[in-house]
Copies of this chain bind each other. A is one copy, B any other.
């Protein structure tokens, strides 16, 4: 519904009705519209801790590859229209932007960067965000070829080393 109606148009009431549940339940279990949006961003039901676990489970030196696999797989699964709606939302709604920042950066990449034990975790987390957001923009919004239709096995050797260096390598 965020993809169809935008951040404003998608009401908790309408989402709850479509799901056949009470709006109060959505507010209680999902943290209202902001919480729903946060989960929609990554297509993660219930728990973004799962994403952090998927990325970090093989130790610090596999995180670059795990980030590319996790995000591309989930975003491909959610469909390209979704990412366009996300970007449109963050350029027009400060609330959506705040959610993107607090979820994608502070929670996910922040936790991943902390897990490496590297210096400058905040800079490393925001560098990872630049590459992942840009990949999403190129693949889903702009449709830039050949990145847009490359399979994950092409993207991993190309982009994983970037994220790996941002997390555990020399950044200057």
Residues of A within 8 A of B (CB): 84, 87-88, 90-92, 97, 100-101, 105, 122-123, 126-127, 129-135, 137-139, 141-148, 150, 154, 156-159, 161-162, 165-166, 170-172
Contacts and interface: CB of A to CB of B under 8 A. Distances in A.
Contact of A131 (B134, B146, B148, B170): B134
10 contacts: A88-B92, A90-B142, A122-B146, A126-B138, A126-B148, A130-B159, A131-B131, A131-B162, A156-B172, A157-B171
A85 B153 CA distance: 34
A138 B129 contact: yes
Contact of A161 (B129, B156, B165): B165
A121 B91 CA distance: 31
A18 to B, nearest CB: 24
Main secondary structure of the interface of A (DSSP, over half): helix
B138 A135 contact: no
Contact of A127 (B141, B142, B158): B158
Contact of A126 (B90, B97, B145, B161): B145
A138 to B, nearest CB: 4
Given A91-B141, A131-B131, A157-B172, 18 more contacts: A88-B92, A97-B141, A97-B142, A100-B142, A123-B146, A129-B134, A129-B138, A130-B134, A130-B137, A130-B138, A131-B162, A133-B142, A134-B135, A137-B137, A156-B172, A157-B170, A157-B171, A162-B165
